[in-house]
Structure 1
Amino acid sequence: MLKLDKVSKTYKTGDKALHHACFEVPAGQVVGLIGPSGAGKSTLIRCINRLVEPSSGSIQLGDTELTGLNRRELRRARRRIGMIFQEYALVERLTVMENVLSGRLGYLPAWRSYFRKFTGDDIAQAFSLLDKVGLADYADKRADALSGGQRQRVGIARALEQNPELLLVDEPTASLDPKTSRQIMRLIRSACQERNLPAIINIHDVLLAQQFSDRIIGLRAGEIVFDGPPDALTDDVLTTIYGDEDWTQLRGENGSGDQGEDASGVDLMESA
């Protein structure tokens, strides 16, 4: 379980990016983090793995208090946290397989890490993950030869290669077309269900958040202004999060977006 207690972040400029964030995420739960640009969504995610240092508050993953760790302890703790980035963060000149295997680097002794001497189990798991994300035939391709959707699939496989206890996802569909965006969200959700893995997904698309999340947290100006089930995102709640707007176009004729497909019952193997 992940637990945040009064987590705040104030930058040196005096800007308050996050104010007293408090919530828990149990095993297996997928949380959609929504809010306008500048609301503090990316800051919140990056405070959890301390890519951004919180100014105050407590962040606990299982029995480990993350905010109190020194540099060496933090490196070990980050092995337990998988991160999927908006811009993929792949090494372009390396192959797909090499990028996926990089998820194991934190577990290797320094000399093995330097020479990229992975175990047979690491390699077998990487092949299995590439098969699950639909890239079994791309293991030897360079990352710079892939489409955006394929790169994001590599990023998912790399994060899962860590065997994490928590998944943090920062705008995974921002650069993708609608069809590919849905496929990527299916992959993430299905992986979490298979592994009983908690996840926090920073996402701008409210309909995708509603369809593929178990729970929605809404941020505005660094504060949590909504925390509840996806079907509780009424027009009034959306106005609280984003400000005044006509939300009928967002919802469409069906009132809550495309709910004709059960996101929890899809196969990881759907191709991009």
Structure 2
Amino acid sequence: MLRLDKLVKTYRTGDQALKSVEIEVPIGQVVALIGPSGAGKSTLIRCINRLVEPSGGKVWLDDVELTALSSGALRRARRRMGMIFQEYALVERLTVMENVLSGRLGYVGFWRSLLRRFPQKDVDEAFRLLDRVGLLAMADKRADELSGGQRQRVGIARALIQNPALLLVDEPTASLDPKTSRQIMRLICELCAERGLAAIINIHDVALAQMFVQRVIGLKAGEIAFDGPPDALTPEVLTRIYGEEDWQATIKTDETAEEAVA
């Protein structure tokens, strides 16, 4: 289980990105994090794995307090947190296989990682994951030859080869077309279900979030404005999160739900 206890982030400018945020995410639950730009969504995700250092509060992953760990212990703890980035964060000149195997760098020694010599079991697992995400035939292609959707699939495989307990996903569909966005969201949710993974997905597309996730958390100005099931995202709730607008067309309909499942 992931638990955030009164998490606070204040920048040197005095801007408070997170204001005493409290969240619990049980094993296997996929959560969408929505809210306007500047609400603190990306900051929250990065505070969990301490890519951004919290100013206060605590972060727990199972019985480990991540906010109390030394740098060495934090490196080891990050193995249990797979990160999927909006801009993919791939090494363009490396192959798809090499990018996936980079997810094992926290497990192999310095010289093996420098020479990119990974144990055979890691290579075998990378092939299995590439097959699962539909990229087995592209294992030897360079990352810069791939489409956006294919790059995101490589990022997913790279996160999963860490064998994490938690996925942190930052705007995985922001640069993708609508069809590919659905495919990527469906793939992430299916993989979480198959592996019993918890996930927090920062996403701007409210209707897309409603199609796939079990729970939605809405942030506004660094505070939780909503926490509940996707069907509870009424126009009134969206107004509370984002402000006044005609939200009816944004909300998932029965038809869009059926299309997402298909």
Kindly provide the CA deviation profile for residues 69-102 of structure 1, in whole angstroms up to 9, marking residues without a partner as x: 1111111011110000000000000000000000
In structure 2, what is the Cα distance between the partners aligned to 1:214 and 1:262? 14
In structure 2, what is the Cα distance between the partners aligned to 1:48 and 1:204? 20
Correspondence 1:5-44 to 2 at 5 A: 5-44=5-44
Q: Does 1:220 align with 2:220?
A: yes
3-state SS of paired residue (1:227): strand
- Does the 8 Å contact 1:250/1:257 carry over to 2? no
In structure 2, what is the Cα distance between the partners aligned to 1:182 and 1:49? 26
1:259 pairs, out of 249, 257, 260, with 257
**Which residue in 1 is equivalent to 2:249?**
249
Kindly provide the CA deviation profile for residues 155-199 of structure 1, in whole angstroms up to 9, marking residues without a partner as x: 000000100010000000000000000000011000000000000
In structure 1, what is the Cα distance between the partners aligned to 2:230 and 2:156? 24
Please give the TM-score of this superposition, normalised by the length of structure 2. 0.98
Q: Does 1:210 align with 2:210?
A: yes
How far is 1:257 from its partner? 6.5
In structure 2, what is the Cα distance between the partners aligned to 1:83 and 1:188? 12
In structure 1, what is the Cα distance between the partners aligned to 2:249 and 2:75? 45
How far is 1:258 from its partner? 0.7
Identity percentage over the alignment? Answer: 71
**Which residue in 2 is equivalent to 1:168?**
168
Q: CA RMSD in A?
A: 1.1
Kindly provide the CA deviation profile for residues 131-177 of structure 1, in whole angstroms up to 9, marking residues without a partner as x: 01110100000000000000000000000010001000000000000
| Partner amino acid, structure 2, of 1:39 | A
| Partner amino acid, structure 2, of 1:260 | E
| Partner amino acid, structure 2, of 1:259 | A
In structure 2, what is the Cα distance between the partners aligned to 1:110 and 1:251? 49
Correspondence 1:121-270 to 2 at 5 A: 121-251=121-251, 254=253, 258-261=256-259, 263=261
- Does the 8 Å contact 2:217/2:224 carry over to 1? yes
- Does the 8 Å contact 1:171/1:204 carry over to 2? yes
Give the total of aligned pairs: 262
How far is 1:249 from its partner? 2.2
- Does the 8 Å contact 2:233/2:251 carry over to 1? no
- Does the 8 Å contact 2:182/2:260 carry over to 1? no
In structure 1, what is the Cα distance between the partners aligned to 2:239 and 2:49? 30
- Does the 8 Å contact 1:251/1:257 carry over to 2? no
In structure 2, what is the Cα distance between the partners aligned to 1:261 and 1:67? 41
**Which residue in 2 is equivalent to 1:105?**
105
- Report the more deviating stretch, 34-43 or 102-111: 102-111
In structure 1, what is the Cα distance between the partners aligned to 2:251 and 2:35? 17
| Partner amino acid, structure 1, of 2:84 | I
How far is 1:109 from its partner? 1.4
In structure 1, what is the Cα distance between the partners aligned to 2:208 and 2:250? 11
Q: Which runs of 4+ in 1 moved over 4 A?
A: none
3-state SS of paired residue (1:23): strand
In structure 1, what is the Cα distance between the partners aligned to 2:114 and 2:95? 17
Kindly provide the CA deviation profile for residues 106-148 of structure 1, in whole angstroms up to 9, marking residues without a partner as x: 0011221111111111000000000011101000000000000
In structure 1, what is the Cα distance between the partners aligned to 2:120 and 2:98? 14
Please give the TM-score of this superposition, normalised by the length of structure 1. 0.94
In structure 1, what is the Cα distance between the partners aligned to 2:155 and 2:255? 28
In structure 2, what is the Cα distance between the partners aligned to 1:78 and 1:251? 35
3-state SS of paired residue (1:260): helix
**Which residue in 2 is equivalent to 1:118?**
118
In structure 1, what is the Cα distance between the partners aligned to 2:42 and 2:24? 17
